């Protein structure tokens, strides 16, 4: 993923302004360490920090049409760019970059070309002929993007908050699946799939169609001119991504360049469930496996950097982002620039623990719709920014537009969790890849139960965070929390601790509002309570106490010895209720 920054109509075309835009753009250099570029047209500036994945030699940005009247700065990957080039026979392309098609498509179709793009993207396009511009973000919000407005009437666009938060009177998250047009002066939704209305679909489940759709989603993401790999936790989602990628890698351009043996990566505390499960899957698939360890104290030491890069104070996001942030640095040190990842399956198929309590298929389906629509604020934000912090790109095949259309058109009755019929969470996904003749995965992995990512890396990770927050946030501080933070008032000490760090980096009210509203307990828990009041006693936002959803209780891993944790607290730690054994409780 690259970093883009644009300042449009700022009423200042001075050298000092250009220098300031360059300075702000450098705040995004971690996203694109390979090259930087800037274009100025009067009081409009488009800058770019490049992570070179396709056409590293000549694909520097900004990009142009033939006569440079159309200028575009892009963060993203256009997977169907070769097909789109064939539709533009009368155009000359300056580079082989996949993103170069955007300027030419605009020439042919005006502002209505965006739904032709198959990929993930955030871009700013300036038409110098009339100084009009459009800004667009991909369907789900896999790429991060923010928009701000200055007192002088300027519009600011940045891949991250840190590029614009000091210069705008107001700023906010750019809505996924939308385009902003300067001609209209407003947003318009360009992504309008059938599932978005939340009407209950009725298409019968066909495992072959679902499997083929996912295989297509994975294989198109093998488009790369640089070394790559797959994030492998050993759970269902990442294991399926790795399995499909390893099957289809042979014969691709990537295999000819980098070899046909897939590289896989996992992170965890010493002896954590993810490390054990990932090693087993890697051995089965024959990947070149890389295992990274971290301690609780390593994670705690990184929290400030994590919050600065992830730009949120959401508790579950920070818990999960920290191991991913540490792993991404290790991966980049190996020379790898792109990884496949498994985000999105739980939202599409209802894989979270509380979906066990869904009262009917209508409620189940509508909740999956809500979860997908909110992904840009949680898992997509984490995956994009935790990797981009080190110049690494994460690609997420479960969030492929065509795959989502197929999966969300299935009658949700098939997705319902029915223990009496031996249907566990994400049963239709598991069944689609249950091939007796050519197994994608061993049965016990294919049907392994889900674990939260922040638990899978080591059960003492979250406990260590809670203890650390306990040492820095007193009861007196929590008593006055409602007066200090009137929006999203923290209700637990861990949330307060993260909020203090966030406010240090991003003190503006607009920044605070970019994090979703509501209590510190996650929205999923709120829905669980609505479906079953027994969940009301679960105060942890990760939903760790699954209330009988899992098979049996387990003993936690010991707290990491490097972390400073009072012995009394360890002795007093309550045991979790109704969660799985380490053999079964591996992250999906």
Non-local (6+) Cβ contacts of 220 within 8 A are 79, 80, 118, 400
| Nearest Cα residue to 223 out of 381, 76, 370, 57 | 76
Residue 204 to residue 577: CA distance in whole angstroms: 36
Tell me the C-alpha distance between 501 and 581, whole Å. 35
- The secondary element (H helix, E strand) that includes residue 431 is helix 427-432
Taking the C-alpha atoms of residue 425 and residue 355, their distance in angstroms, rounded to an integer, is 8
User: Which DSSP state fits 269?
Assistant: S
Distance of CA 552 to the CA centre of its chain: 31
Between the alpha carbon of residue 252 and those of residues 211, 248, 255, the distances in Å are: 20, 8, 5
Identify the active-site residue in 2, 99, 168, 266.
2
Alpha-carbon gap, residue 336 to 338, rounded angstroms: 6
Paired with 178 in beta bridges are: 189
Q: What is the 3-state secondary structure (H, E, C) of 361-375?
A: HHHHHHHHHHHHHCH
Q: Please list the helix, strand and coil fractions of the chain in percent, rounded to the nearest 5, in that order.
A: 45, 15, 40
Tell which phi-psi region holds residue 55, choosing left (phi > 0), alpha (psi between -120 and 50) or beta: left
Instruction: Please report how the helices 273-285 and 236-248 are oriented relative to each other, as an axis angle in degrees rounded to 10.
Output: 20
Residues 6+ apart with CB under 8 A from 547: 532, 534, 535, 538, 577, 578
CA distance 233 to 273: 9
CA of 572: how far to CAs of 254, 434, 468, 566, in Å? 52, 44, 15, 10
Whether 523 sits among the annotated catalytic residues: the reply is: no
How far is it, in rounded angstroms, from Cα 505 to Cα 556?
Answer: 34
For residue 410, what are the β-bridge partners?
A: 203
The torsion angles phi and psi of 263, rounded to 5 degrees, stand at: -95, 140
Residues contacting residue 311 through CB under 8 Å, at least 6 positions apart: 160, 161, 162, 381, 385, 502, 506, 511, 514
Give Cα 408 to chain centroid, integer Å: 19
Question: Can you tell me which residue has the tokens 């701000």?
Answer: 148
* Separation between Cα atoms, residue 444 and residue 456, nearest integer Å: 17
Q: Residue 191's closest CA among 115, 117, 119? A: 115
Residues annotated as catalytic (active site), given as ranges: 2
């Amino acid at each position: 993923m690259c970093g883009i920054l644009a300042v449009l109509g700022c009423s200042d075309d001075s050298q000092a302004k250009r220098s300031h835009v360059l300075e702000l753009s450098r705040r995004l250099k971690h996203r694109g360490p390979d090259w930087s570029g800037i274009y100025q047209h009067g009081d409009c500036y488009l800058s770019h920090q490049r992570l070179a994945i396709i056409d590293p030699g000549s694909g520097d940005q900004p990009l142009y049409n033939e006569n440079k009247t159309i200028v575009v700065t892009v963060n993203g990957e256009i997977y169907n760019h070769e097909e789109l080039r064939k539709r533009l026979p009368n155009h000359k392309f300056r580079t082989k970059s996949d993103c170069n098609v955007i300027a030419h498509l605009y020439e042919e179709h005006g502002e209505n070309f965006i739904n032709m793009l198959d990929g993930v993207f955030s871009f700013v396009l300036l038409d110098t002929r009339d100084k009009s511009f459009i800004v667009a973000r991909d369907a789900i919000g896999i790429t991060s993007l923010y928009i701000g407005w200055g007192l002088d009437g300027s519009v600011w666009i940045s891949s991250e908050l840190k590029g614009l938060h000091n210069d705008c009177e107001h700023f906010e998250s750019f809505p996924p699946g939308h385009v902003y047009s300067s001609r209209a002066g407003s947003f318009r939704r360009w992504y309008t799939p059938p599932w978005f209305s939340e009407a209950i679909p009725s298409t019968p489940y066909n495992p072959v169609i679902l499997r083929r759709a996912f295989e297509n989603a994975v294989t198109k993401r093998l488009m790369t001119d640089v070394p790559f790999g797959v994030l492998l936790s050993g759970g269902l989602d990442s294991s399926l991504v790795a399995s499909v990628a390893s099957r289809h890698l042979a014969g691709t351009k990537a295999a000819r360049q980098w070899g046909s043996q897939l590289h896989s990566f996992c992170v965890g505390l010493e002896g954590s469930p993810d490390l054990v499960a990932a090693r087993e899957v890697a051995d089965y698939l024959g990947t070149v496996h890389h295992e990274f360890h971290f301690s609780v104290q390593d994670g705690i030491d990184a929290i400030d950097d994590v919050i600065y890069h992830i730009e949120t104070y959401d508790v579950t996001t920070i818990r999960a982002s920290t191991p991913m942030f540490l792993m991404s640095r290790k991966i980049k040190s190996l020379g790898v620039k792109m990884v496949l990842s498994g985000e999105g399956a739980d939202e599409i198929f209802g894989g979270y623990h509380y979906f066990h309590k869904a009262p009917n298929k209508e409620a189940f389906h509508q909740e999956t719709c809500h979860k997908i629509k909110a992904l840009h604020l949680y898992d997509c934000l984490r995956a994009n920014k935790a990797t981009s912090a080190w110049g690494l790109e994460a690609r997420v095949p479960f969030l492929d537009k065509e795959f989502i259309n197929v999966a969300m058109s299935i009658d949700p009755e098939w997705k319902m969790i029915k223990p009496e019929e031996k249907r566990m969470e994400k049963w239709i996904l598991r069944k689609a890849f249950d091939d007796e003749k050519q197994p994608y995965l061993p049965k016990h992995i294919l049907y392994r139960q889900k674990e939260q990512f922040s638990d899978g890396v080591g059960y003492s990770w979250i406990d260590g965070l809670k203890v650390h927050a306990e040492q820095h946030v007193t009861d007196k501080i929590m008593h006055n929390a409602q007066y200090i933070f009137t929006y999203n008032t923290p209700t637990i000490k861990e949330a307060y601790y993260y909020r203090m760090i966030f406010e240090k980096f991003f003190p503006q009210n607009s920044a605070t509002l970019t994090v979703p509203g509501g209590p510190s307990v996650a929205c999923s828990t709120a829905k669980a309570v609505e479906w079953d009041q027994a969940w009301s006693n679960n105060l942890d936002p990760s939903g760790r106490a699954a209330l009988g959803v899992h098979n049996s209780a387990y003993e936690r891993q010991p707290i990491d010895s490097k972390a400073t944790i009072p012995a009394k607290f360890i002795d007093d730690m309550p045991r979790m209720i109704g969660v799985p054994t380490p053999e079964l409780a591996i992250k999906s």
